[in-house]
Structure 1
Amino acid sequence: MAWDFETDTEYQELLDWADAFVRDEVEPLDLVLGDPYDKADPSFRRLVRPLQRQVRERGLWACHLGPDLGGQGYGQVRLALLNEILGRSRFAPSVFGCQAPDSGNAEIIAHFGTEEQKKRYLAPLLDGEISSSYSMTEPHGGADPTLFTTRAERDGDGWVVNGEKWFSSNARHAAFVIVMAVTDPDVSAYEGMSMFIVPAGTPGLTIVRNVGVGGEREGSHGYLRYEDVRVPADNLLGEEGGAFAIAQTRLGGGRIHHAMRTIAQVRKAFDMMCERAVSRQTRYGPLAKLQMTQEKIADSWIEIEQFRLLVLHTAWLIDKHQDYRKVRKDIAAVKAAMPKVFHDVVQRAMHLHGALGVSGEMPFAKMLLGAQAMGIADGPTEVHKITVARRLLRDYEPVEGLWPSGHLPTRREAARERYAAALEHALGNE
């Protein structure tokens, strides 16, 4: 039986370098720079580009991609361990060339794009020269693509797109968006939707507003309107009607990456909680001496470790099967567990910091909002729980007869019948 909880020495050395690099060079950027997706920002170019060069020199640039695209082709377990480090900083994914949604968009263009599409959009995206956006969800459709109404109709040598899209992240900085639209309303949504690449500035494509989350002053999630947006036929991504297959390519691994980055955030909250516990003095001594504080710390550590093992096991299953469909239940379980662990640990840390914890001088309020967002992004928690339950129930059959299979009187009687001869023989020898 092969089972190992250790990372090979060579890769662990890279992880150790990344850990120190992110702590010393990247995390400070979060405090002095603006939007990681604003590639035109002079400060971004001056501060981030040199760091990206160091990452490239270490061979850790865009590790989610194969060697033919400039990455390392790492499996999900290795990517998970790296993302556990990158999740500490909002700039780290950009410094390492694996920021969402660009990483997912690059992956689907690499798999489904034409040579011309790869040359025009993939190459500069991989080089970190441009940003992109994924235009999928709709205001009325929520997380259910079967309710989408945005249409793309063939017109001569091109397509014309009409509709509205909601929460197209980073659209204001994107050089192009990938839009999911209905191309054949007469068949199932799973066969009648397609994806198109729409360059920024295409006539008819409008950002109605940039939606903020919580108290954000300047939102980063575009509310987009498509009004007779015309794109050439060559801008079709993959095959007509293939949107769902393309979408699954980018979602499965992305959810695992999100989960490991979330663990990094949760651990930051946990570290702040423990630091507060040993530092803050009460009339009875430090908070760490109080049993309620000890319970919070114990519960938090246990939940973090449980969740981390679930994520790593799921990453291992993806590497093993190389088929997201076979790991759909496990990915859904990760997605459902993530916001609860995030919320619970952060809330405990916030509470131990008292008034300081709820103030804008600590990051807990923003973290709590992030936990709520995680429960909605890429599908709400409730939907993923349904997926887990349905997949699990497939392995069970209804019992025949009146009593459950665990009914003790029935089992006892069956056991007596099975061992009747032996029991009778044993009694006869007494």
Structure 2
Amino acid sequence: MNQELKMFQETIQAFAKEKIEPVAALIDIEEKVPDALMKEMKEMGLFGVPFPEEYGGSGFGWRAQYMLMEEVAKYEGSIPSIIGAHTTIAANAIYVAGSEEQKQKYLRPLADGTSLGAFALTEPGAGSDAAGIKTTAKKEGDEWVINGTKCFITNAPSADIFVVFVSTDKEKGARGGITSFIVERGMPGLSIGKMEDKMGIRGSETSEVIFENVRVKDEQVLGEVGHAFKYAMRVMQNGRLGIASIALGLAKGAFELAVQYSLERKQFGQSIAHFQSIQNKLAEMKMEIYAIESMLYRTITLLEEGEGFNLEGSIVKAYASEKADWIINESLQIFGGYGYMKDFPIERMLRDARINRIFEGTSEIQRIVIAKEILKEASL
């Protein structure tokens, strides 16, 4: 790690400890990140960490982005989910597929924190089967008319810019029939639907987005008409590393609390850290954290070197999200009955972590991807 990255990490660690940890429980209760905290994070450049300065970003690159998500997740799970949806998929889609004009008009305000982004792909009937989307866009002169409903869209209630994926040719489907559009908040026909009451990451807003004859211009087409499915899959690879980073942060945070509690909690005349059963739990948790961290940062290196990481990204996303749940659950067990109470953060961490096995591709979908990559390589 170079000195610049080390300074960045230390800055985020201090900020998360000082500003985020004290309000983490409140975020969960009120289902909202305080406006002042959001404003401060935007002013720090935390909503555009990986993007070049020429597009309003901080210019620190993807390793710093994932460090950010990991360090914040040690204390709270909603904020890295907000930043992840905004940066790693919504803004990144424009960075990957957008024209220079689109990057200046839309990516810049996203990267500098002026605007909030949302990535609208999932639909009621198209979750894991992302290619099965029913929302349509039909060409009328120099305009496209969008109709349909998206669901489970992170940041939607407050988003200013939506990257929306629609069907423009039902027959072609994912192979030439899906197009992405940049849609701005306030456009006639765009509305926010049902707000979801979630189990975890309750400070992260999630809702439906409804399109009723929303008219957009040709210049709002993102990339090539019909070829957006590949853009979605490309940025979701970045997204999967983001989920792994959040999972790692949550696991580390819970583990550190469990270690401290094991030293402080006394039973049978001594701290429970002296009991072998507790030591075994701590040792096994530390082994898994090391495995997740090693996988994640090896895969980030592949990303930085411009290598493909579809296989590795799916492996680390599935492994990190599943093992983080186990680590947090074991940490709760060390806390005993206290861990089950809302007076302690472990139960919230367990709720926040559970979503990581679902979004950005379920664990089951990751295994399908992994198997396909294995068989593709074997057939060469």
TM-score, scaled to structure 2: 0.88
Correspondence list, 1:13-412, <5 A = 13-30=7-24, 44-45=35-36, 48-50=38-40, 52-53=42-43, 55=44, 62-71=48-57, 73-90=59-76, 99-103=83-87, 104-214=89-199, 220-320=205-305, 322-323=306-307, 326-396=308-378
- Does residue 12 (structure 1) correspond to residue 3 (structure 2)? The answer is no
Give 3-state SS (helix, strand or coil) of 1:100's partner: helix
State the shift of 1:218 in Å. 8.4
State the shift of 1:124 in Å. 2.2
Asked if structure 2 preserves the Cα contact closer than 8 Å seen for 1:212 and 1:219, the reply is no
Distance 1:150 1:144, change over 3 A: same
- Amino acid of the structure 2 residue aligned with 1:197: I
Asked if structure 1 preserves the Cα contact closer than 8 Å seen for 2:79 and 2:204, the reply is no
Aligned counterparts of 1:36 and 1:127: Cα–Cα separation in 2: 21
Aligned counterparts of 1:254 and 1:218: Cα–Cα separation in 2: 19
State the shift of 1:391 in Å. 1.7
- Amino acid of the structure 1 residue aligned with 2:10: D
Aligned counterparts of 1:129 and 1:389: Cα–Cα separation in 2: 41
State the shift of 1:295 in Å. 1.2
Asked if structure 1 preserves the Cα contact closer than 8 Å seen for 2:135 and 2:167, the reply is yes
Give 3-state SS (helix, strand or coil) of 2:374's partner: helix
- Amino acid of the structure 2 residue aligned with 1:180: F
| Greater C-alpha Rg | 1
- Amino acid of the structure 2 residue aligned with 1:327: F
Give 3-state SS (helix, strand or coil) of 1:201's partner: coil
Greater RCO, CA 8 A, separation 6+: 2
| RMSD of aligned alpha carbons | 2.9
- Amino acid of the structure 1 residue aligned with 2:343: E
State the shift of 1:271 in Å. 0.9
Q: Mark the runs of 5 or more structure 2 residues left unpaired by the alignment.
A: none
Aligned counterparts of 2:153 and 2:79: Cα–Cα separation in 1: 19
Correspondence list, 1:405-424, <5 A = none
Deviations along 1:42-76, one digit per CA (max 9) or x if unpaired, are x624x5545654x35xxx77331123224354454
Give 3-state SS (helix, strand or coil) of 1:198's partner: strand
Paired residue total: 377
Aligned counterparts of 2:32 and 2:106: Cα–Cα separation in 1: 19
Aligned counterparts of 2:147 and 2:272: Cα–Cα separation in 1: 58
Distance 1:11 1:339, change over 3 A: closer
Asked if structure 1 preserves the Cα contact closer than 8 Å seen for 2:255 and 2:328, the reply is yes
TM-score, scaled to structure 1: 0.79
- Amino acid of the structure 1 residue aligned with 2:369: T
Asked if structure 2 preserves the Cα contact closer than 8 Å seen for 1:76 and 1:316, the reply is no
In percent, how many aligned pairs have the same letter?
Answer: 27
Q: Mark the runs of 5 or more structure 1 residues left unpaired by the alignment.
A: 1-6, 38-42, 398-430
Distance 1:92 1:180, change over 3 A: closer
Give 3-state SS (helix, strand or coil) of 2:84's partner: coil
Aligned counterparts of 1:349 and 1:383: Cα–Cα separation in 2: 28
